[in-house]
Homo-oligomer: A and B are copies of this chain.
Amino acid sequence: SALIDIAVIAGDGIGPEVTAEAVKVLKKVTASEGLSLKLTDYLLGAEHWLATGETLSEETIQALRGHDAILFGAVGAAPGDTSIPSGLIEREMLLKLRFSLDHYVNLRPSFLYDGVASPLAHPGTIDFLVVREGTEGPYVGNGGVLRKGTPHEVATEVSVNTAFGVERIVRDGFRRANERPRKKLTYVHKHNVLVYAGHLWKRTIEAIATEYPEVSVDYLHVDAAMIFLVTDPARFDVIVTDNLFGDIITDLAAAVTGGIGLAASGNINMDRTAPSMFEPVHGSAPDIAGKQKADPSAAILSAALLLEHLGHVGAASRIKAAVASDIAMRNSASPRATSVVGDAIAQAL
């Protein structure tokens, strides 16, 4: 039987709790589909750094490359924790993985499930996909500081955008839009202000649009996109955008679909030159860690995206259906423990 070889990085805070449930569901679904599952745990994250000094070594990256895919929980210390330099783990571990393994498609589906209360009064039908660029833009770590700590300090951040990088993500956006019934692609930028990067995006969209005559394309400035995300999210089908705008849009999208407890994501290398990584959009939430309070749905849905990426579409659909039916029966008045939710979803498969 086919072997699925997965690296598991549970991470910090609620990461291990929600990942345990995702693994529970993965085990159940693969067994019943006759697939063999091999899981290898990697200790990484803030706790691991405190214990060992490793953020993410070259050896670890090499080892991770040997797996089919990576299941990722969450990393990062509590906001006020001064024992860990702010942002260190996020940059030197999470982003380093995305960049090292060339995860250029940061895929974030947004779906309002039946039974979930949106903070919007009239949310309508929300079912769109954000295709966020994952390896360029303001995330490249380019920039610097001059005269640090003096009244003459100058700090710069450089957003780097390449034809190569923009083209592959735009192409991915068109391809996904073309596969969906509505075939609608919205690209989001701020090209009236960020002219250099913005016009590279604009020209690339216009060029690739000619290859997809059935896909209708529209453009929104990022500020206008904010408005539509709360006044008419049903208008979106596929959104393609840069790394930073995608970060901002997907948290808002998660919020309007009932919270980041349900939002899954894939960090995907479509060329398959390295394993892709699947993670909930939420962070490590140290304030509720260890209390079995976290909703494991986003982690479980991330496992479904993982199976989908590896070609096990049937297994992925079963997980998504089980999560949807569990969500439909939820009663917010009596929240269940993390593992109880995982059990229920595994049961419903």
Where the two chains meet, the residues of A that have a C-beta atom closer than 8 Å to any C-beta of B are: 76, 79, 86-87, 90-91, 95, 117-122, 138-139, 141, 143-145, 147, 149-164, 167, 190-200, 202-203, 219, 222-224, 226-227, 229-231, 244, 247-248, 250-252, 254-256, 259-260
Contacts and interface: CB of A to CB of B under 8 A. Distances in A.
Nearest to A192: B87
Contacts of A149: 203
As for how many copies of this chain the complex holds, the number is 2
Contacts of A248: 222-223, 226, 248
Given A86-B192, A200-B155, A118 B119 contact: no
A196 B87 contact: no
A117 B119 CA distance: 14
Contact of A150 (B163, B224, B254): B163
Given A153-B162, A155-B200, A224 B251 contact: yes
A143 B144 CA distance: 15
A251 B226 contact: yes
Contacts of A161: 154-157
- Of A122, A223, A247, most B-chain CB atoms within 10 Å: A223
Given A226-B252, A251-B223, A255-B227, A194 B157 contact: yes
A156 B160 contact: yes
A163 B163 CA distance: 34
17 contacts: A86-B202, A87-B191, A87-B193, A119-B121, A119-B122, A139-B193, A141-B195, A145-B196, A152-B163, A152-B164, A157-B158, A157-B161, A157-B194, A158-B159, A223-B250, A230-B256, A248-B248
A139 B190 CA distance: 10
A201 to B, nearest CB: 9
A254 B230 contact: no
Contact of A120 (B120, B145, B199, B260): B120
Given A91-B192, A143-B158, A227-B254, 6 more contacts: A79-B219, A95-B193, A151-B163, A157-B197, A223-B251, A226-B251
